[in-house]
């Protein structure tokens, strides 16, 4: 699975880890994140993420 990086802050979303604090289970691909999911570091939306 591909990793994605938040361009403004550098947070890396790793699908193998997920976002447990945000309720996202490990193994969740970036494409399957809810549309209202936000970066846990800076609070911006999925649209600012780029493929790593």
- CA 3 to each of CA 12, 33: distance values in angstroms, whole numbers, following the listed order: 7, 13
Give strand pairing partners of 19: 24
Residue 46 annotated as lining a ligand binding site: no
Residue 23 annotated as lining a ligand binding site: no
Residue 42 annotated as lining a ligand binding site: yes
Sequence-ordered alpha helix ranges (H) in the chain: none
Task: Write out the binding residues for Fe cation.
Answer: 6, 9, 39, 42
Task: Write out the binding residues.
Answer: 6, 9, 39, 42
């Amino acid at each position: 699975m591909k990793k994605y990086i938040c361009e403004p802050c550098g947070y890396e979303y790793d699908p193998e880890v997920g976002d447990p604090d945000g309720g996202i289970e490990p193994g969740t691909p970036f494409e399957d994140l809810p549309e209202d999911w936000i970066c846990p570091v800076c609070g911006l939306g999925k649209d600012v993420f780029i493929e790593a």
